[in-house]
A and B are shown apart, each in its own frame.
Chain A
C-alpha cells in the first residue's frame, strides 16, 4: 500500500457537503431575510420621500424673501427709497425689486376679485429679494431695515420652512433608524440561527477538527450557506417590497407626502442594494458566530 497522491480540490463544492443539510430551519433564515428586506424597502422609501420633500420645500422657499412695508402714506416713498438703498448695499443678494401695484393687484385678485380698489386700501408695499450663493445675513438685514425703514418687515420664510424641514428631517431620521434596527435584527436572527446550526453540528465539527480541518474551513461551510440563504431571502423580500411600492398611487406634480412614497432616478439603486447588503450582514454575523463557537470546541 502506498499513500494516495493529492491534488488541489475545488473547495467551492467541497465545503458545503461536509455539513449535513439542515432541513426546515434553513427556511427560517431565508424567511427572516425576506421579511426584513420587505420592511426595509418601505423604510427606505419613507426616508427618501421625506428627504425629497424637505429638499423641495427648502429650495422653493429658501431662495426668496419678501419685505413688507406698512407705513403712513406720506412715509411710503421715503421708506421705499431707504429699503432699496439698504438692499443695494447688502452683500449676498442676487437681485431685488419692488412689486408694483399692478402685480400686487394680480396677487390679491384670487382672494378679492378683479374690481378691488387697491389705491383706497392700506395695502402694504412688497419687495421681492432673491438670495445669492452664499446668502445674506438675514438677522443683520433685519436690524438695518428696522433702523432705516421702521415700517419694513423682512419675511425670509424661515417661519414656514423650519418646522416643515424639521418634520421632514425627523421622519428621515426615523426611517434611517428603522433601517438600522431592521439590519441589526436580521444580524441578530442570523447569528442565533447560525449558533443553533453550529450547536446541532457540534459532532460534525469535532470530526472535522479531528481530521485536521482549520476553523476557517469549517466556518466557510456555514458562512457560505447562511450568506446564500440571506441573499436569496432578501432578493425575494426586495422584489415583494418594490411590487408594494409600485402598487401605491403615482406621485403627481403637487407631490402630496403619501403619494410621494416611491423611488426616482438614482434612488432605485437602494432597494437593489439590499440583497447584497443582507448577504454581507449574514456573512459577518455567521462568521463571528462560527469563530466564537469553534473556540468553545477543541
Chain B
C-alpha cells in the first residue's frame, strides 16, 4: 500500500532520514516513534506526498510519488486521511463545514445524517455549528480525526494526535483509531507517548517503527 525503498531525505542543513526501506500492509497498525526533531513528521509527509524523497523511491498505492502530478497527489490525498499535528481547520467555517471539507473540495456533498453520525462518534455533535477556534485541544483533535475519515480513506495518518490533550482524551482518541483499524483501515500514528503505544498494544497487534540515527527500524516486542 505504502512502500519506501532506500529512501533518504535531506534538508539543506543535512540528511534527516536515510536508507529507509519498509512496507505498510493494508489493515496494519503502525506507531512511529522517536525523539522530537528525529523526522517523524517528515516521514509522514513523505508518506502522503507532501515531500518528495531526495533519493530512493516512495510508492503510494502502487505508484511512484515522483511520477505523480499535482492533481494525482490531490486524488491520492482523498484516499489518505491526515490528522495533522495542529489540526488545520478553516477558521471561518463551522465545524460541520470543516468536517465536510474533503467532500466539498471534490465537488461532492456529504449526507447530513452521515455527518451527524460521524460527529456523534467523536462526541462533538453538540458543537457542529461552532467555529474551530472555539474548540478545546481535544475537541479539535477528534474533529480532525472525524474529518480524516469522512471520505472513507484506505489509510489514516496521524501526527501526534494526542500531543495537546490529557490522558483520558488520549485514550478516547486511541479507541477511535483502534475502531477504525478493526474496520480494515491502515493506521500510522506518529507519537512520542510510549504509554499510549503500550495501551494500544493491549488492544490491537500494533507494530512500532522507531526513528534513531536517521534510520527507521522496526522495534522489538520489548517496548
A-side residues, CB < 8 A to B, are 1-11, 14, 17-18, 20-21, 203-204, 206-217, 294-295, 298
Contact = CB atoms under 8 A, between A and B. Distances in A.
A4 B110 contact: yes
Contact of A212 (B51, B78, B84, B179): B78
Given A17-B97, A212-B77, A213-B74, A6 B103 contact: yes
A214 B104 CA distance: 11
B96 to A, nearest CB: 12
B95 to A, nearest CB: 14
Contacts of A9: 103-104, 107-109
B218 interface: no
Contacts of A1: 117-118, 121, 179, 183
Given A3-B150, A21-B92, A14 B121 contact: no
A210 B152 CA distance: 15
Could you say which of A3, A203, A212 has the most chain B C-beta atoms within 10 Å of its C-beta?
Answer: A212
Contacts of B70: 214-215, 294-295
B101 A6 contact: no
Nearest to A215: B70
Could you say which of B106, B110, B149, B179 has the most chain A C-beta atoms within 10 Å of its C-beta?
Answer: B106
B152 A3 contact: yes
Contact of A20 (B75, B90, B117): B90
Q: Is the interface of A mostly helix, strand, loop or mixed?
A: mixed
List 5 tightest A-B contacts by C-beta distance, closest first. Answer: A4-B114, A3-B152, A213-B105, A212-B77, A9-B109
B111 A7 contact: yes
Given A210-B82, A298-B50, A298-B51, A18 B93 contact: yes
Nearest to A207: B88
Nearest to B72: A214
Nearest to A10: B109
Contact of B105 (A2, A8, A18): A18
A2 B121 CA distance: 10
B71 interface: yes
Contacts of A207: 88-90, 101
A17 B96 CA distance: 13
Nearest to B116: A4
Nearest to A298: B50
Contact of A3 (B77, B88, B114): B114
B104 A18 contact: yes
B90 A18 contact: yes
Contacts, number: 105
B101 A5 contact: no
Contacts of B74: 209, 212-215
Given A5-B114, A14-B104, A212 B151 contact: yes
Contact of B75 (A4, A8, A212): A212
8 contacts: A1-B118, A5-B114, A6-B108, A8-B108, A9-B103, A9-B104, A208-B101, A213-B74
B173 interface: no
A204 B90 contact: yes
A48 B9 CA distance: 63
A217 B107 CA distance: 9
Contacts of B71: 214-216
A204 to B, nearest CB: 6
Contact of A6 (B105, B110, B147): B110
B86 to A, nearest CB: 10
B102 interface: yes
A206 B45 CA distance: 13
Given A3-B114, A4-B103, 13 more contacts: A3-B152, A4-B117, A4-B118, A5-B111, A9-B103, A14-B107, A18-B101, A18-B104, A20-B92, A212-B75, A213-B106, A214-B71, A298-B51
B109 A6 contact: yes
B158 interface: no
A32 B76 CA distance: 40
B177 interface: no
Nearest to A216: B71
Given A18-B101, A213-B105, A4 B150 contact: yes
B115 interface: yes
A210 B90 contact: no
Nearest to A6: B108
